[in-house]
Amino acid sequence: MGWSVDILRKNGEGNIQDVKNIINIFMSRGYTNCVAYDKGRYHNLSINKPMFDDELPWFLEDDADSILANVDLKPSDDWWSNERIRDFPERFKGYRDYFDFEKISGRSFMLLNFFHEYFKLVPEDVLWNCYSKDKHFYTKADIDKIYNKKEWKVEWIYVDPDEQ
């Protein structure tokens, strides 16, 4: 399952502080190679684990060694963006995707740790697994509930948060 996941924001606008926050969260978790490419309307981020470190911190023990993200500084207003949000549940009407992680397969532990820290900074944003069959939405409370479990499933991001 190599889909992407999106973070939704009420107005859909990111800013340079969001880019810094994302990089800082990963850097605080031991990812020492974080690069932001300024593409004008958005920033493309490449985040990597150390390449030659025998003693990685426990929270880096995941199958993936890198992930790509895109942070929109201006919300997209194209056909595809509008089509994707057309059927949002009522409580998320007015939200737009403003950043996404590409190819999340094998990165569930990395992402759970990231989202737990991210939602401390921006609790009103929403995680949306737009490519899963049921297109699940996760709030800060949902992520905290999953994160604080004694045991959680690697497939947490593909499962309805109410069933976890």
Q: Which residue has the higher pLDDT, 80 or 163?
A: 163
At 29-72, the pLDDT tens digits run 878 777 888 888 888 888 887 665 555 555 555 556 778 888 88
pLDDT score at 69: 85
| Total of domains in the chain | 1
For 90, the domain range is 5-163
What's the predicted TM-score (pTM) here? 0.83
State how far the Cα of 38 lies from the Cα of 16, in Å rounded to an integer. Answer: 10
State how far the Cα of 120 lies from the Cα of 154, in Å rounded to an integer. Answer: 22
Q: Which residue has the higher pLDDT, 142 or 28?
A: 142
Q: Which runs of E-coded beta strand occur in 20-73?
A: 33-38, 42-48, 66-72
pLDDT score at 1: 47
At 64-118, the pLDDT tens digits run 677 888 888 776 676 666 677 777 888 888 888 788 888 888 888 888 999 999 9
pLDDT score at 143: 96
pLDDT score at 34: 79
Asked whether residue 142 carries a pLDDT value surpassing 70, the answer given is yes
